[in-house]
Amino acid sequence: MSLSLEEQAQSFIDGRVLLIDKPLGWSSFQAVNFIKHRVKRISKQKKIKVGHAGTLDPLATGLLIICTGKKTKSINEYMGLNKVYSGSFELGSTTPSYDKESEVDKSFSLDGISEERILKNRLQFLGEQQQLPPIFSALKKDGKKMYEYAREGKEVEITPRTVCIERFEIKKIELPLVYFELECSKGTYVRSLAHDFGKALNIGAHLASLRREAIGEFNVNEAPTPQAWEEQIKAEIL
């Protein structure tokens, strides 16, 4: 649908919900800033609210819900929706960040690890459970982000949180990689799930790849990359 520049500008002020496929290596903050810069240029507003409904780590790709203008009031509603992820765990090694952002600190032999053990292991992670977030996270303690403590080498007490894994499927096993798909509640750290999964097998594991496929009824298949979104907006303007 084509809109005049004035109509396009007003739509961002009134509020829009944008689905964006975040590229690998981008932080959620970078993606929001990319959109915000272009929204401000189109709307000719020096200040306009733009925010996202749920962080994705730089090493993850996939769906970000970005809200503009008055729709930013709905962000908490979207954050509360279940998330669907696909990705892979790498068995036999751990990292301090629980993913590939940091170097391997411990390695383990994969001897004795069978497909049967891996499939059986996943069952204990289904349903409601207590999960410890990674020390390398943006969660705050005493006004300071946890990853700041971690980078300073300081130990900090981490409070577990209640999360729920609604569905957890092992799609393929190509050791050391285990490919999965899962649906989980708000607040679930898939990095922590990877770490706990390896710990339960006594061989260690970390998150090798992650893609957010869906948030509630919103699917990444409907989401353009930031650059493709920009081209769509240009094409929509009369």
Beta strands 205-215 and 60-68, pairing class: parallel
- Global confidence as pTM: 0.91
User: What pLDDT, on the 0 to 100 scale, is given for residue 42?
Assistant: 86
The Cα 187–Cα 164 span in angstroms is 9
Q: Is the pLDDT of residue 76 over 70?
A: yes
CB neighbour list of residue 108: distance below 8 Å, 6 or more residues apart: 92, 93, 202, 203, 204
SS3 string of the chain? CCECHHHHHHHHHHCCEEEEEECCCCCHHHHHHHHHHHHHHHHCCCCCCEEECCCCCCCEEEEEEEEEHHHHHHHHHHHCCCEEEEEEEEECEECCCCECCCCCCEECCCCCCCHHHHHHHHHHHCEEEEECCCCCCCCEECCEEHHHHHHCCCCCCCCCEEEEEEEEEEEEEECCEEEEEEEECCCCCHHHHHHHHHHHHCCCEEEEEEEEEEECCEEHHHCCCHHHHHHHHHHHEC
Q: Locate tokens 């689905």: which residue?
A: 19
Q: Locate tokens 């943006």: which residue?
A: 138
Residue pair 99/206 in contact (Cβ under 8 Å)? The answer is: yes
Architecture of the domain whose range is 83-215: 2-Layer Sandwich (3.30)
* Residues taking part in catalysis: 57
* Range(s) within the chain of domains with CATH label 3.30.2350.10: 5-80+220-236, 83-215
Q: Is the pLDDT of residue 4 over 80?
A: no
Q: Is the pLDDT of residue 25 over 60?
A: yes
| CATH placement of domain 5-80+220-236 | 3.30.2350.10
Q: Is the pLDDT of residue 123 over 90?
A: yes
User: What pLDDT, on the 0 to 100 scale, is given for residue 235?
Assistant: 81
Q: Is the pLDDT of residue 101 over 70?
A: yes
Residue pair 169/183 in contact (Cβ under 8 Å)? The answer is: no
Q: Is the pLDDT of residue 152 over 90?
A: no
- With cut-offs at 50, 70 and 90, classify the pLDDT of residue 62: very high
> Minimal CA–CA distance to 26: which of 55, 54, 65?
55
